[in-house]
Structure 1
Amino acid sequence: MGLLAGIFALAVVVVGRLRGVMALVAPAISFLVLNFFVLPTVLQGSNPLLVAVIGSSAMMLIALYTCHGPSARTSVAVLGTPLSLALIGILGSVFIGWAALTGNTDDSTGLIHGLYPKLDMSGLLLAGVIIGSLGVLDDVTVTQTSAVWELHDANPAMSWRRLCRAGIRIGRDHIASVVNTLVLAYAGAALPLLLLFSIAQSGVGTVANSQLVAEEIVRTLVGSIGLVASVPVTTLLASLVVSADRPGPQAETATAGAVAVGGAAAGRGGRRRKH
């Protein structure tokens, strides 16, 4: 495992250079936040949802500003991420309750519940959904923000509406690939369980309504809805910010023209006063 970690770190640094080094620092700090804040605070009996929101916000700020540096572009991604996380939290809370998911589905969760009977296991499940969605959300929000900035650099004359429409067209391709990634990631993690159901020749309804599979279905769908929502939200924010912060040449030409006209008028006024 050490050798594999070393190969991974070397590949990231060789390709990413300084940005790659910072990309290695960010997950290390996120692990420290998880280990020294999120886990102990949950075990002390605090609300897992509240702890997950605070911890995710801290990890998001650290990761984005460490990897991408302080800038308007990074700040837009930072603003778009918690909005989508809030939607994921609301949907997760509602549908985990409606689906009657207990969060106590295997030996590890059963042991935790036995050792800490007051721990809210369904809240712990929701906290896992939020933290698990954070990494993919960062990817979507940063990519959408960068796409809008690059579009503006390529054609500074584009209005914020055109920038937004073009960014959303890019985001559609991103949504398709990311949602597919989420589904395959969860399916891969649950592959042994799915094999057991296949051996038992269980029906689709039976499989879907088991606690283990139902958790993954709700987790995947709630996370995917948050990802889909993050594309238009982040793209709109980025379009408004980049258009206001970096006006196109038309606006600059108009401003220069206004200054020139004002200067000429002042010159004529001065000549009249001399006469």
Structure 2
Amino acid sequence: MKLDKLSFFFHNAKKQDIVFSMFVLLLCVVMYQIPTGFEDRLPKNAEYTEGLVLSVDNSRAELHGLIRSGSQSLDIQILKGRLKGTVFHTGNVYMGKMELDREFEPGDHAFVTISTNGDETITNVNTSDFYRLRIEAVLMGVFALFLLLYGGFFGFQAMLSFIFSTFAMWKLMIPMMLKGYDPILLSFVAVVILSAVILFLVAGVNRKGIVALLGASLGLGVTAIITLIFSGPFKVNGAVRPFSETLLYAGNTHLDLTRLFIAGVVLSASGAVMDLAMDISAAMSEIVRNKPDISRKDLLVSGNTIGRSVIGTMTTTLLFAYSGSYLAMVMLFMGQGIPNGNLLNISYVAAEILHTVVGSFGLVLVAPITTAMGAMLYVPLKKKRA
């Protein structure tokens, strides 16, 4: 019975795809072990754990319109670690910013930092935020389960690409940016490597994956160049992104926020570009499979027809995806009666226009590029086989 289930899981999976997946899994394990290089900045003699809020005293808290000030007094019972069961009296200070403040109630679970000195004497107990690790793990577990149940081995490959991308950005790309490496070049190299791993996991190590990778890489390269060209005339300061200015104040004055902004444009456009490249490559692969004697010219025409059909919805997809992040900002400006000319000249809005249009430009370009790559790689190899 177990063998039957195992064979069902690997149904239609090729040996080379299984080997490549195991190689990527090994890379994930290796990257997990790699230090970021910033561990020494973590607070010394600190324990991070989960606490249960037993009681709350709001006598020192004040509400001014929508903004809270003052603080809460909390009694928290530690639920994990060496101090499990211990009750501490601590506070929750309001910062006056809704996106950063949190209001605890009895029964809430808090993420607690317990600081000690050299002789293990507790010096401070701080509730930094709500404890969300458990529900995050549950959500990720449900996501992984659905992928495995629906896709089997291919669902496992999709989940593996998700994990690999996360580790590559968290363990390699972000630390290298913090260390001063050029963010534009770094983001481009990162997305090319990520695209290669993801596309080969999804399509297999074959011509379909190679064509999609070439199309996506060239499309992203053009996207980076266009962003570099237009970011100057747009006069966009990278500080328009949340926490960018704070990043400088945190001791990273060597960073160029504008180049970080451009790197973010390349990174955010990579997913849609990769999808479009794979759609066109897969469609052209099926055309060649069903009509092996097709000419390069006819395949090129068919690929362009497919590309034109897809780019209309894909560019709109980017518009919807990006607009969700700045919906409240546009609502604020419109609600204040700001004229459209003024609205479009505000740096925040101009940055999002640049972000959206350049990303869409990359999508428009990746279609003919992928089609050309497919026409060159699919047809000649097929003719040699014949």
Q: Say yes or no: TM over 0.5.
A: yes
TM-score normalized by the length of structure 1: 0.86
Q: Does structure 2 conserve the Cα–Cα contact (< 8 Å) formed by 1:104 and 1:113?
A: no
Q: Give unpaired runs (5+ residues) of structure 1.
A: 253-275
Q: Which has the higher helix share?
A: 1
Q: Does structure 1 conserve the Cα–Cα contact (< 8 Å) formed by 2:280 and 2:371?
A: yes
Deviations 1:22-67 (A, max 9, x none): 0110121111111111111111122111211221222112212222
Which of residues 221, 229, 232 in structure 2 aligns to 1:97?
Answer: 232
Q: Determine if the alignment matches structure 1 residue 221 to structure 2 residue 357.
A: yes
Distance 2:272 2:347 in 1: 24
Q: 1:109 to 1:146 in 2, by over 3 A?
A: same
The residue number in structure 1 matching 2:258 is 122
Q: Does structure 1 conserve the Cα–Cα contact (< 8 Å) formed by 2:240 and 2:351?
A: no
Which of residues 220, 223, 230 in structure 2 aligns to 1:85?
Answer: 220
Aligned residues: 250
Q: 1:109 to 1:167 in 2, by over 3 A?
A: same
The residue number in structure 2 matching 1:13 is 148
The residue number in structure 2 matching 1:67 is 202
Which of residues 183, 198, 207 in structure 2 aligns to 1:48?
Answer: 183
Q: Which has the higher strand share?
A: 2
Q: Does structure 2 conserve the Cα–Cα contact (< 8 Å) formed by 1:80 and 1:141?
A: yes
Secondary structure of the residue that 1:158 maps to in structure 2?
coil
Which of residues 170, 192, 196 in structure 1 aligns to 2:306?
Answer: 170
Distance 2:210 2:191 in 1: 16
Deviations 1:107-145 (A, max 9, x none): 511201222222100000010011111111111111111
Distance 1:213 1:224 in 2: 16
Q: 1:107 to 1:10 in 2, by over 3 A?
A: closer
Q: Partner letter of residue 234 of structure 1?
A: T
Structure 1 residue runs of 4 or more that deviate by more than 4 Å after TM superposition = none
Identity %: 27
Offset of residue 241 of structure 1: 1.3
Superposition RMSD on alpha carbons, in Å?
1.7
Q: Determine if the alignment matches structure 1 residue 232 to structure 2 residue 368.
A: yes
Offset of residue 21 of structure 1: 0.9
Q: Does structure 2 conserve the Cα–Cα contact (< 8 Å) formed by 1:19 and 1:68?
A: no
The residue number in structure 2 matching 1:148 is 284
Distance 2:187 2:147 in 1: 28
The residue number in structure 1 matching 2:380 is 244
The residue number in structure 1 matching 2:105 is none
Deviations 1:135-181 (A, max 9, x none): 11111111111111111122223211111111111111210111000
